[in-house]
Amino acid sequence: MPLTASPSTTLLPDSDGQEYQYTLNFGPQHPATHTTLRLILTLEGETIIKAVPDIGFLHSGFEKLGEDLDFNQYVTIVDRMNYISPVANEIAWHHTVEKLLEIELTPRCKYIRTILAELARISDHLLCIGAAALDLGALTAFLYAFNEREKVYNIIEEASGQRFHPSYTRVGGLMNDVSDKFVELVRDFVKTFPPAHADVVRLLNRNRIFVDRTKNVGVLTKEQAINMSASGPIARAAGVTRDLRKDEPYLAYEELSSSFQMVCATGGDCYSRYLVRMGEMMESLNIIKAAIENLPSGPINVTADGKYTIPDKSSTYRSIEGLIQHFELIMWNRKFDTPVAETYGANETANGELGFYLVCDGGNHAYRARTRPPSFIHFSLFPMLIEGHQISDVPAVLGSLNIIAAELDR
Amino acid sequence: MNEQTQSVLDKYQGKYTPYTHLNDQYVSLTASESAEVLYDLLKSLKEEAGYDYLCDIAGVDYLTYPDAEDRYGVIYALVNTESGARLFVKAHANDPAPTLPSVYELWNGSNWMEREVYDMFGVTFQRHPDLRRILMPDEFVDYPLRKDYPLRGLGERHSMPSLTRAES
């Protein structure tokens, strides 16, 4: 049976016999898509009159796996959704689990998670801006951005032992406490990041080519942004004043709310999205600065009475209570006690609102772990944004939406 | 819950079950109530109570869920962008032909979300402009997130038709 590819069903009805319109396949393997996604563009000359995204190339059943793995095991899978800022996904996932199990984190854990979430945001925005600039021909900004991303990876490696997919959070806490060197590295980053940020600003903000190719390209109005469920920097660049860190403060954002501001723009075009991301990085840095200087002492995990956290190794090997709890949480037929309930928890990640709709049936893992993936929702904006633009605007709009195919397809 | 929301909900008195869980407001509709009032309720919530932002549409298969009455649940997560308030509307549908009205006319953003629910659970959305599979290939016949679909699949990977150069 030949594959029935979607273009035949999605071409314009009146396009038959019109020789001046032609169809261009963009992807699945194309340098400007960065990952695996496909666009079927209907062109009239070089003007795009219709774009049909075809996704699912990276679909690997994450949500089905979420129904099979327990809350701590699934963290390795959520890591791989938005792999540009994996820690933020972990924090969002465990935020939802802890909301359902009604666990209140310790202050130290909240602060460390906040620092990591903001570092992840900086890392994500740097990649987004660097790669978008690279696609538009500005290689230098990309190198400056990646130089800083390496430092973020060093910090995450110092905390968790892993650079890319740290799997660092656990239900009710973290895998381990951070070291003094972590604090040192973060302080160092806070000092060295502003000059690097200023370099990128100098390279791009008034760069004639970059500005010409991003200004008034892919314009999203505020009404469209709300109607199309856009969130995060894309919605804020269109003038939607919505940031979950301010609107529904979680972790330590309530205590740190005086140290940062919501960054918004009104243009709604690719350039505004770039500016919002650049602004957000500095606000993130302010949060990190405030959090690292006020890092509370104390335990990182909630108390053992709740039977939710894996005890540390010395307690597992040297005390009967620790051993029992470790056994209870690790054995496949024990694990977590869940209520028969469901909840939705969302975090403001770099790309937008990353939410999980978690359903539990009283068993030891999730009954349903729905992800609200920001990339998926933002990619559905793409046909609307690109219509009427030139084919060379595709990389600009794709880059500004920051589509991560692993999160798009899950 | 503010006054406008309450007055909208009062219009549909008896057609839904409200409850609060972990400080979140839920409105639950049974399968028959969903078919009857879901679209109108969402429309009133959007236009009269200011829930202008559709955050998410989540599908759930309640096949083996304790005390579940209806099989498929579709949860509409609404947000009021002015006040930041959230409201979750839970609609239900049943076999053999689970169907719900599409909310595409209210929120264009629901396009892909409804396609995903259709793709994963086989719930069809009436009046959806382009209801096709989105993540799974077009020739896939099952609905992978249903509870009676096994984790490791039914061997589709090995029996997928391979495309030859001549056919392509």
Whether cis (ω within 30° of 0) applies to the bond prior to A249 is no
State the Cα–Cα distance between residues B6 and A211, nearest whole angstrom. 48
B1-7 CB contacts, 8 Å cutoff, 24+ apart: B1/B25, B1/B85, B1/B87, B2/B49, B2/B83, B2/B85, B4/B48, B4/B49, B4/B50, B5/B45, B5/B49, B5/B51, B5/B85, B5/B87, B7/B48, B7/B49
DSSP A40: E
Give the model's pLDDT for residue B75: 92
Mean pLDDT, rounded, for A295-301: 87
* Interchain pair B132, A65: CB under 8 A: no
Mean pLDDT, rounded, for A381-407: 88
DSSP A67: T
* Interchain pair A228, B59: CB under 8 A: no
Mark A290-317 as b/e (b = at least 16 C-beta within 10 Å). bbbeebeeeebbbeeeeebbbbeeebbe
Nearest CB to A344 within list B53, B77, B161 = B77
* Interchain pair B109, A370: CB under 8 A: no
Nearest CB to A370 within list B52, B58, B168 = B58
Nearest CB to B84 within list A247, A357, A380 = A247
Give the model's pLDDT for residue A1: 41
Interface check A120 vs B, CB under 8 A: no
Give the model's pLDDT for residue A9: 46
Is pLDDT of A245 > 60? yes
A334 backbone dihedrals φ, ψ, rounded to 5°: -110, -90
Give the model's pLDDT for residue A4: 47
Q: Considering only residues 312 to 371 of chain A, which have any Cβ-Cβ distance to chain B shorter than 8 Å?
A: 340-344, 346, 353, 355, 357, 359, 361-362, 367-368, 370
Q: Which of A14-18, A269-273, B27-31 has the lowest mean pLDDT?
A: A14-18
A181 band by pLDDT with thresholds 50, 70 and 90? very high
Helix, strand and coil in chain A, % to nearest 5: 50, 10, 35
Contacts of B65 in chain A (CB under 8 A): 340, 359, 361, 367
- pLDDT < 50: residue spans in chain B: none
State the Cα–Cα distance between residues A334 and A326, nearest whole angstrom. 10
Instruction: Identify the burial level of B8 via C-beta atoms within 10 angstroms of its C-beta, where 0-12 means exposed, 13-18 middle and 19 or more buried.
Output: buried
Is pLDDT of A7 > 60? no
Query: Would you say the C-alpha torsion A332, A338, A342, A343 has a positive or negative sign?
Result: negative
CB count, 10 Å around CB of A191?
10
Contacts of A102 in chain B (CB under 8 A): 22
Give the model's pLDDT for residue A17: 59
A407 backbone dihedrals φ, ψ, rounded to 5°: -80, -35
CB count, 10 Å around CB of A164?
12
A15 band by pLDDT with thresholds 50, 70 and 90? low
State the Cα–Cα distance between residues A375 and B98, nearest whole angstrom. 28
Between the two ends of chain A, the Cα-to-Cα distance in Å is 27
Give the model's pLDDT for residue A93: 93
Q: With beta carbons less than 8 A apart as the criterion, state whether B107 and B43 touch.
A: no
Give the model's pLDDT for residue A304: 66
Is pLDDT of A131 > 80? yes
Give the model's pLDDT for residue B28: 87
Q: By CA distance, what is B117's nearest residue in A?
A: A370
Instruction: Identify the burial level of A340 via C-beta atoms within 10 angstroms of its C-beta, where 0-12 means exposed, 13-18 middle and 19 or more buried.
Output: middle
* CA proximity to A243, closest of A194, A212, A213, A279: A279
Rounded to two decimals, the ipTM of the complex is 0.90
Is pLDDT of A325 > 90? no
Give the model's pLDDT for residue A18: 59
For an interface test with B, give the residue of A11, A12, A73, A370 to mutate (most B CBs within 10 A). A370
A12 band by pLDDT with thresholds 50, 70 and 90? low
Query: What DSSP string runs through A85-152?
Result: SHHHHHHHHHHHHHHHHTPPPPHHHHHHHHHHHHHHHHHHHHHHHHHHHHHTT-HHHHHHHHHHHHHH
* Interchain pair B109, A380: CB under 8 A: yes
* Interchain pair B65, A361: CB under 8 A: yes
Count of CA atoms in the C-beta half-sphere (13 A) of A279: 17
Q: β-strands B99-101, B124-126: how paired?
A: parallel
Mean pLDDT, rounded, for A335-355: 89
C-alpha distances (whole Å) from A93 to each of A170, A358, B88 are 10, 9, 19
Cα distance from A3 to chain B (closest Cα, Å)?
7
Query: Would you say the C-alpha torsion A233, A234, A236, A237 has a positive or negative sign?
Result: positive
Q: With beta carbons less than 8 A apart as the criterion, state whether A255 and A248 touch.
A: no
Is pLDDT of A3 > 60? no
Global confidence as pTM: 0.90
Contacts of A59 in chain B (CB under 8 A): 135-136
Q: Write the pLDDT tens digit of every residue in A142-156.
A: 899 999 999 999 999
Max intra-chain CA distance, chain B: 65
Q: Tokens standing for B52?
A: 């202008």
DSSP A10: H
Give the model's pLDDT for residue A87: 92
Query: Would you say the C-alpha torsion A309, A315, A317, A320 has a positive or negative sign?
Result: negative
Q: By CA distance, what is B163's nearest residue in A?
A: A2
Interface check A226 vs B, CB under 8 A: yes
Residue with tokens 């953003």, as numbered in its chain: B109
